């Protein structure tokens, strides 16, 4: 099959099989950008309700730019990869302040926006402005690798360059938006990572991987992310109607989100309140202690496995002035239940709080 037949087949398949998704019914670059950021590392079924909530809260980029970052993080809660939410907010401010609320209308200019990489810039440029620039995501890698029989490592610079050059050759001039949507949708629905539907595939007769029994082995991705294991002991401290919390710093996971004071251990098996300096320090307030450590909360991130236990400490309300003073010296904050509910929190903390209800 020639290069021209490949996009032709996809463009024929797409209208008959595409999902009806709200960001496909517009050329508004703000809506397209919002959907692309939310859907990074996220399944459509999970991302769709978040997209709808963001559009409801912030129908324009200017309104998103004016929102407090804490509010944006709270709305993002549960979606993970919180750096995306911070970049989302910073990019909205950049567009609002530097571009008078209008997204740049070309690929090169879009790349200058905070948190906008090559894929996102190509998606916005082609979907909103019909610029002839090819998108390259996991779905596109998979379709091209299988169909053309490319065994280059898709995580290597050399492999990415090879795929980008091929993708740029294939994209048709008249319908760059439709073609980019088509090849990504084809990878998401037809040429899937596992159990690809080769039996009903319109490209099967000329597909290299199908002909050579390599559907399960392509594409090739050699690079592996090293996963580290971390062990947390959280101290859930109540005094009167206040709870002691902390805002996570800029050099670790969950930046800017709210959790509880914690001590990190070297190994999940070694988590023990009796070996926590913080726990021992809190004994000065003579708290009532409820050991929650028998339940371990496991939380998986792309590069970390986190095992967490909780110990609950209730301090008499008359000691609140002392506790507040102590919290200030530690960099912690005091908040009531309503305040905590409104703050953005790691999903691990949300699960724990829900279990307590």
Q: Which two tokens stand for residue 306?
A: 């986190």
Other C-beta atoms closer than 10 Å to the C-beta of 284 total 11
DSSP structure string for 131-197: -------HHHHHHHHHHHT--SBTTSHHHHHHHHHHHHHHS-SS-HHHHHHHHHHHHHHTS-SSS--
Q: Is 71 a catalytic residue?
A: no
Q: Are 292 and 236 in contact (CB under 8 A)?
A: yes
Cα-based distances in Å from 74 to 298, 340, 350: 22, 10, 11
Of these residues, 36, 131, 178, 185, which one is catalytic? 36
Report the distance separating Cα 289 and Cα 292, nearest Å.
9
Other C-beta atoms closer than 10 Å to the C-beta of 31 total 22
Q: Spell out the alpha helix ranges (H) of 265-356.
A: 277-282, 320-330, 337-342, 347-356
Active site amino acids: 36
């Amino acid at each position: 099959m020639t290069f021209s037949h490949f996009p032709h087949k996809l463009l024929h398949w797409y209208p008959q099989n595409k999902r009806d998704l709200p960001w496909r019914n517009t050329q508004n670059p703000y809506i397209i950008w919002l959907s692309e950021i939310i859907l990074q590392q996220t399944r459509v079924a999970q991302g769709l309700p978040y997209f709808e909530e963001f559009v409801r809260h912030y129908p324009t980029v200017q309104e998103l730019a004016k929102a407090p970052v804490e509010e944006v993080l709270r709305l993002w809660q549960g979606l993970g990869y919180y750096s995306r939410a911070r970049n989302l907010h910073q990019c909205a401010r950049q567009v609002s302040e530097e571009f008078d609320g209008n997204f740049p209308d070309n690929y090169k200019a879009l790349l200058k926006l905070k948190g906008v990489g090559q894929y996102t810039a190509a998606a916005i440029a082609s979907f909103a402005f019909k610029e002839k620039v090819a998108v390259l995501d996991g779905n596109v890698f998979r379709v091209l690798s299988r169909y053309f029989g490319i065994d280059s490592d898709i995580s290597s610079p050399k492999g990415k360059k090879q795929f980008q050059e091929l993708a740029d050759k294939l994209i048709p001039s008249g319908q760059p938006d439709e073609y980019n949507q088509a090849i990504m949708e084809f990878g998401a629905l037809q040429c899937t990572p596992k159990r690809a539907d080769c039996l009903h595939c319109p490209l099967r007769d000329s597909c290299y991987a199908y002909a050579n029994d390599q559907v399960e082995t392509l594409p090739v991705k050699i690079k592996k992310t090293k996963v580290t294991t971390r062990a947390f002991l959280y101290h859930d401290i109540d005094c009167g109607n206040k709870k002691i919390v902390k805002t996570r710093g800029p050099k670790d996971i969950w930046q800017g989100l709210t959790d509880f004071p914690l001590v990190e251990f070297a190994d999940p098996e070694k988590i023990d309140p009796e070996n926590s300096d913080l726990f021992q320090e809190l004994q000065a307030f003579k708290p009532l202690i409820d050991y929650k450590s028998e339940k371990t909360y496991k939380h998986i991130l792309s590069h970390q496995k986190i095992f967490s236990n909780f110990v609950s400490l209730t301090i008499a309300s008359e000691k609140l002035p002392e506790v507040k003073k102590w919290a200030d010296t530690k960099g912690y904050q005091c908040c009531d239940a309503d305040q905590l509910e409104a703050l953005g929190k790691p999903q691990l903390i949300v699960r724990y709080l829900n279990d307590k209800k």
